[in-house]
Structure 1
Amino acid sequence: MKKELLTLLLLYITQVLVAQDTTPNLPQPYATKSHTNYSHVKGWEAGETPIAPAGFRVTLYATDFENPRWLYELPNGDILVANSNSNHSFLTKIGAQIVGANKSNSMKHSVDRITLLRDADHDGIPEFRSTFLEHLEQPFGMLLIGKYFYVANTNALWRYTYETGSTKLSGPPEKILDLPAGRINRHWTRNIIANKEQSKIYIAVGSGTDHAEKGIGNEKLRANILEINPDGTGLRIYASGLRNPVGMGWAPGSATLWVAVNERDKLGDNLVPDYLTSVKENGFYGWPWWYYGSHPDPRVKDPAPVAASDVIIPDVPLDAHTASLGVVFYTGDKFPQRYQQGAFIAQHGSWNRKPISGYKVIFVPFADGKPAGKPEDFLTGFVKDSLHSVVRGRPVGLLMMKNGNLLVADDKTNRIWQVTYAQP
């Protein structure tokens, strides 16, 4: 009994200390120069893999994609890969100077398809591949509810009839909701997740601009998490003021939705931190008027709809400009105990910071559905030369498979990594 009480006391103290450390000591806007510093993706040499902690093994799960951005596992174990990218029209508009500098972006247009992978013999390597869906518009989030497979394009949510074992969907789709399309390259992804009862679908929609510089009137239904019924009815804003919410997950042992959010740019190297936060129903998180609580953005002139005191402070600060995208809670039992129930976050990497930041997968420990420690590096080795902004790849989508292994999509080198654990 004493041991159990001591354990509970230590857990409580840890959670209190973490809670007290949720507001970082931020510099003033423009305390440092804002840099345009795109990375140069050089790829992986033979024998190179991302680096994981001792006891973990990283292997190549699949390759030869075209921008594998997001991952989803069907109940029969088939893995779906959303192949999508910033639209080619963006590259046409920004001109040769930026295209020449932006080596971190693929120069191809978005191929707009979903690929199916099947590992029928369960040896850890998929031996079958097919085009599951095509002729989409920047597909991203994927979801199966009952007989319906949902895919979130940048401009609409569609659903298709699905039968177990299908390797290609060919029936007519049904559009159940229009979405505000991503403007050129700005926050085009649309992620989706269902609640435990599968009675609601939540849609993450990023802002159309950095800080509403085109006017808040152009941001209708943006910078929000939306909620709908599975048939597309009942649309409402579940939470707002989230500049670019992407990866979402339900904290184990709770009914709380969590999301990774990309914050704004051009305020300096160390502003503004991305973050992982719980999502409160009807909660407001500040964008564009405030960041990380009630820190005002000096560039925003539109009148704010609420007081600064009503802005919710995020739970877990992440480094600035890391582009924290993929989120997955580890609910399996293959990884060591300290990783179970915690959150893995893929950081796609910066373009507005010198030196570069992100380009790794980090881990946030959780206990009883709440953060129980600071973020720590989990998967590194993506950065080859930080001084000259040279990277091997860019992690983005994460998936904890039903077998307990972790998949990591590297969309700029067109491969998917698999992380397994074996006691050293």
Structure 2
Amino acid sequence: MRGSALAIGMLMASTACAFAQDNLQKLQNFQSTGTKLEIPTVPQDAKKVANLQKVAARIKVPAGLKVELFAIVPDARHMAIGRNVGTVFVGTRKSKAYAVTDRDKDGVADEVKEFAPSVAMKVPNGMCYSPDGFLFVVEHNRVLVFPAAEFFYESPDVAIGIVADKLIPESEESFNHGARVCTIGPDNKLYISLGQPHNVPPKDKLALYKEHGIGGIIRMDRDGKNREVYATGIRNSVGIAFSPQGQLWFTDNQVDGMGDDIPPGEINRITKPNQNFGFPWYGGGKVRTVEYKSDEIPADVTPPEQEMPAHAADLGLSFYTGTALPEKYRGGLFSAQHGSWNRTKPVGARIMFTPVKADGTSGKPEVFADGWLDEKTGQYLGRPVDVQTYLDGSLLVSDDLSGAIWRISSAD
């Protein structure tokens, strides 16, 4: 009976895989997959909304601003904002992606539904949107593109393309550090961060990782051609964005298990291709890793643009492109701290602001929105993941603990 059950399970898995592949082929040919037209939606349950509104009331922001619940979105991770309708495409670390729409433009979403439910996805964490309306979704080991995403998202079947069907060798796939992020550069290329799966990688992996850009950032043409490694020496970046000056900035999560206060987290700035940011010789900042403390440090290591509190888990970041917030924030960098998991006294669960000067360098980071961490109990009320400018100039903050998107806007 055990053998029969195993055989049935294997057959079902094989059949599901075949259906998923068949769906992709049909969608690429603009054919219907037969998926039910009624797309699953996420109820905006009144009781849960009321509870989350209580959390919003505890978030501290600068005078003249307010925090409200925008939408209930399960497991909400990185976001991409549509250019026309203003649909918010939301990734997760699971198997679903979501499309969030504020149809009456009152600052609260009217509808949250699954995006492209006829496509089987695996960790569709990374979302980025091109100026000409293409949505890129970076999974754990694949990149999909959805042309005219805002046009097709009302249907379960969507126009789709496969940009890359293998980002890393299958032997290096891991449940750890497998959430990818992406952005489109001013050169119209697709940039993707590839976290490496270890706390500190073994030395016999370094050559392989450098070749594939694991523990780095890669770039490629939007159709997947001309892939190259753009930056190395990165442990696990879960936030990348181009500045108004055209430079790529990224957060980096640093080595665990070295103590409460070391090593620092990092915000980094890339000023030219092929820069090395020091990992694994450094665990963060100038703190040497135990595993590589006797090894010679490469001569070309670039130090962090800014050091952040240890273990605050800096994730998504973006440059403010709106005008609705006070002038001091325009062109500056907002970044989300997910919050520590391995610190005696928790830290993080907040939004940081880093001013950017005209020459492209940065000023001192400061806390912008705080209160998702209950200081008395150490309990998280929410864990921010990403922060993006909405079309009206407000800020949207995703939160995978609460399963919510928060909106920060003018109180006027």
The TM-score, its normalising length taken from structure 1, stands at 0.77
In the alignment, what sits opposite 2:66? 57
Aligned CA distance change for structure 1 residues 292 and 255 (closer, same or farther; 3 Å): same
Moved more, 280-289 or 370-379: 370-379
Native 8 Å contact 1:69 1:397 kept in 2: yes
Aligned CA distance change for structure 1 residues 327 and 141 (closer, same or farther; 3 Å): same
Residue correspondences, number: 350
Aligned CA distance change for structure 1 residues 117 and 313 (closer, same or farther; 3 Å): same
CA distance in 2, matches of 1:361, 1:156: 29
In the alignment, what sits opposite 1:137? 122
| Counterpart among 375, 384, 389 of residue 400 in structure 1 | 389
Native 8 Å contact 2:243 2:319 kept in 1: yes
CA distance in 1, matches of 2:108, 2:310: 36
In the alignment, what sits opposite 2:86? 78
Name the SS of the counterpart of 2:322 in structure 1. coil
1:158 partner letter: L
Aligned CA distance change for structure 1 residues 302 and 157 (closer, same or farther; 3 Å): farther
Q: 1:185 Cα shift?
A: 3.5
Moved more, 361-370 or 51-60: 361-370
Query: In the alignment, does 2:351 pair up with 1:361?
Result: yes
Name the SS of the counterpart of 2:78 in structure 1. strand
Name the SS of the counterpart of 2:328 in structure 1. helix
- Residues 220-369 of structure 1 correspond to what in structure 2 (within 5 A)? 220-252=212-244, 254-279=245-270, 280-292=272-284, 295-300=287-292, 307-368=297-358
Q: 1:372 Cα shift?
A: 4.4
In the alignment, what sits opposite 1:32? none
Aligned CA distance change for structure 1 residues 371 and 147 (closer, same or farther; 3 Å): closer
Of Structure 1 and Structure 2, the greater strand share is in 1
CA distance in 2, matches of 1:360, 1:297: 27
In the alignment, what sits opposite 1:157? 143
Q: 1:343 Cα shift?
A: 0.7
Deviations, residues 370-422 of structure 1 (Å, cap 9, x unaligned): 34431111111111145x43121101111101210000011111111100014
2:343 partner letter: R
Native 8 Å contact 1:66 1:83 kept in 2: no
Aligned CA distance change for structure 1 residues 115 and 373 (closer, same or farther; 3 Å): same
Native 8 Å contact 1:285 1:293 kept in 2: no
Query: In the alignment, does 2:167 pair up with 1:179?
Result: yes
In the alignment, what sits opposite 1:383? 373
1:55 partner letter: G
Q: 1:196 Cα shift?
A: 2.3
CA distance in 2, matches of 1:186, 1:73: 27
Deviations, residues 298-346 of structure 1 (Å, cap 9, x unaligned): 2138966xx4432111111111101100101112111111111111110
Name the SS of the counterpart of 1:48 in structure 2. helix
2:167 partner letter: L
CA distance in 2, matches of 1:147, 1:338: 30
CA distance in 2, matches of 1:348, 1:44: 21
Moved more, 115-124 or 225-234: 115-124
Q: 1:129 Cα shift?
A: 3.0
CA distance in 1, matches of 2:248, 2:365: 18
- Residues 102-117 of structure 1 correspond to what in structure 2 (within 5 A)? 110=94, 112-117=95-100
Native 8 Å contact 1:216 1:302 kept in 2: no
Name the SS of the counterpart of 2:219 in structure 1. strand
Gaps of 5+ in 1: 1-42, 86-109
1:265 partner letter: D
CA distance in 2, matches of 1:46, 1:345: 22
Moved more, 208-217 or 409-418: 208-217
CA distance in 2, matches of 1:311, 1:293: 11
In the alignment, what sits opposite 1:121? 104
Native 8 Å contact 1:326 1:396 kept in 2: yes
CA distance in 2, matches of 1:148, 1:244: 26
Deviations, residues 66-118 of structure 1 (Å, cap 9, x unaligned): 20111111111333343423xxxxxxxxxxxxxxxxxxxxxxxx2x2221122
Aligned CA distance change for structure 1 residues 163 and 48 (closer, same or farther; 3 Å): closer
In the alignment, what sits opposite 1:212? 201
Q: 1:153 Cα shift?
A: 0.4
Q: 1:267 Cα shift?
A: 1.1
CA distance in 2, matches of 1:377, 1:185: 31
Native 8 Å contact 2:53 2:68 kept in 1: no
| Counterpart among 135, 152, 161 of residue 166 in structure 1 | 152
CA distance in 2, matches of 1:150, 1:292: 30
Name the SS of the counterpart of 1:113 in structure 2. coil
Q: 1:369 Cα shift?
A: 5.0
Native 8 Å contact 2:82 2:133 kept in 1: no
Q: 1:197 Cα shift?
A: 4.3
2:256 partner letter: D
Q: 1:362 Cα shift?
A: 0.9
Of Structure 1 and Structure 2, the greater helix share is in 2
CA distance in 2, matches of 1:237, 1:141: 18
Native 8 Å contact 2:91 2:127 kept in 1: no
Using CA pairs below 8 Å that are at least 6 residues apart, which structure has the higher relative contact order? 1
Native 8 Å contact 1:322 1:349 kept in 2: yes
Q: 1:55 Cα shift?
A: 0.7
CA distance in 1, matches of 2:205, 2:261: 25
